[in-house]
């Protein structure tokens, strides 16, 4: 019986004579006689070809499928080995899929905390400068420098009460959404639309304290590690492609990020209130802002894209409001009336108070799991 033999070292096909004797496959090719035990054979029959290989070798033998069927007829051991090879492949793929899911849903969230704490501060600071430079192109700093100074002074007061390993650098940015988020290394961005939506300086102080808590607990770096882990896993599983396989891995990473992100958000709420209380400021604004955001989402469904930015990765709304109300304390106002008016005017000088850009349904504030090489990775969480 004629076949083609490949030695596994080069791509050249060698004509071969094939026969089966005493449970062994005898192959005569290129002046050599090879003996393959039937118990070590793996057979893949595809279309009109049968490809045979053996355990521990890269060599293979290709036969017409019809010839292999005649050769193996009545030899149950060969058929069992062929089926076992197929089952082994399926089992191997199932094990690989289970391991992948375990890494994405369990391993990455569990490892991100220790990895974040072990990350050198200088490394995170350099990363933050890089992200900050890129995201500033998309969300430019508002031109009202007096208002920027007011926000930074408030950030300095709150961060003095925290254990943040980085100096907090806060600024108001021009972006068509109600949101605030942190970058690695202590950069905090608050959108002009959020300040417009706030009804008191205490509400802005609550948001700012929440973001400082994210920096203190290094939640931002945890998000970076989860994103990097998902990216490395993506390369391992689908070779960095852009097809359905890639999308499946990204969706898996987003699902695990959502669950872990809510835990971090609840922790940042609690620590943010502590920072306000240590500074002698009222924490009522935090609950007030949460309540109004929830009411706007219900009462103005046409604005759901604006408000949903705020709730995208947060704990259950009712529980969050209840926790804020239960822990709130009275205290001094975060800003004087003059400071509050100055802060509210920070972005208005850019385009005029009545010439605001329309708000767009852009999701920002939680880390993306598919960072592109030249695209800013939005890694902060509200």
pLDDT at 244: 46
| CA dist., res. 310 & res. 289, Å (int) | 11
pLDDT value at position 287? 92
131 Cβ partners below 8 Å, 6+ apart? Answer: 183, 184, 187, 376, 377, 379
What pLDDT, on the 0 to 100 scale, is given for residue 228?
66
What is the DSSP annotation of 146-209? HHHHHHHHHHHHHHTTS--SS--EEEEE--SSS-EEE-GGGEEEEEHHHHHH-SSHHHHHHHHH
Q: How much helix, strand and coil, in percent to the nearest 5, is found in the chain?
A: 55, 15, 30
Alpha-carbon distance of 121 to 128, in angstroms, equals: 10
What is the pTM for the complete model shown? Answer: 0.61
Q: Encoding tokens for residue 270?
A: 């609690």
pLDDT at residue 76 in the model: 54
Report d(CA 115, CA 33) in Å as an integer.
56
Let me know if 114 is exposed, middle or buried by CB neighbors in 10 A (0-12, 13-18, 19+).
exposed
Token pair for residue 103?
A: 């890494």
Going residue by residue through the chain, which has 382 residues, state the pLDDT in tens, using 9 for 90 and above: 889 998 888 888 899 999 888 778 889 998 889 998 888 888 888 778 888 888 878 898 999 988 888 887 756 555 445 544 555 556 766 776 677 666 655 665 676 778 778 888 998 899 889 889 988 999 999 999 999 999 999 999 999 999 999 999 999 999 988 889 899 899 999 999 999 999 999 999 999 999 999 999 998 888 877 766 655 554 555 454 444 444 444 444 444 444 447 788 889 999 999 999 999 999 999 999 988 887 766 554 444 444 444 444 445 677 888 899 999 999 999 999 999 999 999 998 775 544 444 444 333 333 333 333 333 333 444 5
Residue 143: its pLDDT value, please? 94
The length of the chain, given as a count of residues: 382
**pLDDT, position 157:** 97
Report residue 379 as tokens: 């890694």
Question: DSSP letter at 100?
Answer: H
CA atoms 7, 11, 17, 18: torsion sign = positive
β-pairing verdict for 169-173 and 187-191: parallel
The pLDDT of residue 109 is 62
């Amino acid at each position: 019986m004629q076949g083609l033999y490949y030695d596994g070292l080069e791509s050249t096909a060698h004509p071969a004579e094939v026969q089966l004797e005493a449970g062994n496959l005898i192959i005569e090719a290129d002046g050599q006689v090879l003996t393959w035990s039937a118990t070590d054979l793996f057979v893949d029959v595809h279309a009109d070809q049968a490809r045979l290989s053996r355990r521990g070798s890269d060599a293979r033998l290709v036969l017409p499928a019809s010839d292999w069927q005649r050769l193996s007829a009545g030899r149950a051991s060969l058929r069992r080995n062929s089926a076992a090879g197929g089952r082994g492949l399926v089992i191997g793929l199932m094990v690989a899929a289970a391991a992948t899911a375990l890494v994405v849903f369990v391993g990455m969230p569990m490892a991100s905390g220790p990895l974040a704490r072990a990350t050198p501060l200088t490394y995170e600071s350099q990363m933050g400068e890089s992200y900050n430079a890129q995201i500033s192109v998309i969300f430019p700093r508002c031109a009202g420098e007096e208002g920027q100074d007011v926000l930074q002074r408030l950030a300095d007061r709150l961060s003095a009460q925290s254990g943040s390993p980085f100096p907090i650098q806060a600024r108001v940015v021009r972006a068509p959404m109600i949101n605030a988020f942190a970058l690695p290394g202590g950069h905090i961005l608050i959108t002009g639309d959020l300040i417009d939506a706030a009804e008191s300086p205490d509400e802005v102080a609550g948001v700012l304290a929440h973001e400082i808590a994210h920096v203190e607990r290094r939640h931002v770096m945890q998000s970076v590690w989860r994103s990097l882990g998902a990216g490395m896993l993506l390369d391992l599983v689908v070779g960095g492609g852009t097809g359905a396989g890639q999308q499946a891995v990204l969706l898996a990473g987003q699902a695990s990020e959502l669950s872990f992100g809510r835990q971090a958000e609840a922790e940042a709420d609690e620590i943010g209130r502590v920072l306000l209380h240590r500074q002698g400021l009222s924490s009522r604004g935090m609950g007030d802002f949460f309540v109004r955001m929830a009411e706007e989402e219900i009462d103005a469904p046409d604005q759901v894209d604006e408000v949903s930015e705020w709730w995208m990765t947060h704990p259950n709304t009712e529980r969050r409001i209840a926790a804020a109300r239960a822990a709130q304390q009275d205290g001094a106002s975060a800003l004087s009336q003059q400071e509050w008016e100055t802060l509210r005017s920070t972005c208005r000088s850019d385009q005029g108070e009545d010439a605001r850009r329309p708000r767009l349904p852009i999701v920002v504030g939680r880390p993306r799991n598919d960072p592109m090489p030249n695209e800013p990775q939005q890694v902060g969480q509200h």
